[in-house]
Amino acid sequence: MTLNLKNQNDILNLENLNSNEIEYIFNDKPINRLKTKPQLEDKKKLILELKSEIENIDNCELKNNATQLVFADGNSESKIMVIGEGPGQKEDEQGKPFVGDAGLLLNKMLEAIQIKRNNIYITNVVNYRPPNNRKPEPSEINRYSNFLRKHISIIDPKILILMGSTAMESLFGPKIKISKERGIWKDLIIHNKTYLTMITFHPAYLLRQAEQKKYSWADLKQIRKKIDELRISV
């Protein structure tokens, strides 16, 4: 919209307008006064509700043996969400996912494709450390997958990265093999919404099987390519 200033009075009126120190926006589009802030507040509220739902879980061997809940880390507004297996000793001590050796490797993997860890959102399949770092039981994976699905819906990422077979099993079921499924973009549907998903090896597995890193690198490059295509800022 352009302002037509016809005479001296119009110029004076405009000066008057500007001197009121009120921000006048001249725009043809209707103003949406309700958009962003309530959405952010809703998200924060939903995250807190989910967190307390997990804190209040009953009859759970994982919770009963762990020091504390390990819920998530990073930016809840991120378009990228990473899911690991479950907390280890360091995570259990600090209450944050991926802060031990596997976490250090995860950080390097992210840096290799120019992703800052603080700009993404990270959680796990189970939110309490399994005793002696055992793999979560199928019944535990199932139970916690309800929380995980909710968590994904709340964060609403554009790209979901599943690290390892437990994350894969939690969301795609136990019948598939990570060696076949990794490195392929998949659609994960939760509550009628489709999430673009990449399954890749878990950093703890790569620490044990260094020769598999070449596959992991191929997956990371695909993820970077998709981030660029979708113009996601990380």
Please select the residue that binds ligand URA; options are 74, 88, 130, 157, rule is CB under 6 A.
88
List all residues 6 or more positions away from 176 whose beta carbon is below 8 Å from its beta carbon. 168
* By the rule CB under 6 A, 74 interacts with ligand URA: no
Closest CB to ligand URA among residues 102, 234:
102
Task: Could you list the beta-strand ranges (E) of the chain.
Answer: 73-74, 80-84, 121-124, 159-163, 185-190, 193-200
Contact 87, 77 (CB under 8 A): no
Closest CB to ligand URA among residues 165, 234:
165
* By the rule CB under 6 A, 86 interacts with ligand URA: yes
* By the rule CB under 6 A, 110 interacts with ligand URA: no
Least spacing, CB of residue 198 vs ligand URA, in Å:
16
Please select the residue that binds ligand URA; options are 84, 130, 136, 183, rule is CB under 6 A.
84
User: How far from 11 is each of 5, 21, 23, 40, 197, CA to CA, in Å?
Assistant: 6, 17, 18, 41, 57
Count Cβ neighbours within 10 Å for each residue of 213-222 and write b for 16 or more, e otherwise. bebbeebbeb
Question: Distance (Å, rounded) from C-alpha 78 to C-alpha 119?
Answer: 6
Least spacing, CB of residue 123 vs ligand URA, in Å:
8
* By the rule CB under 6 A, 91 interacts with ligand URA: yes
Closest CB to ligand URA among residues 11, 174:
174
Contact 102, 88 (CB under 8 A): yes
Least spacing, CB of residue 233 vs ligand URA, in Å:
25
Task: Provide the binding-site residues for ligand URA, judged by CB under 6 A.
Answer: 84-88, 91, 97-98, 100, 102-103, 124, 204
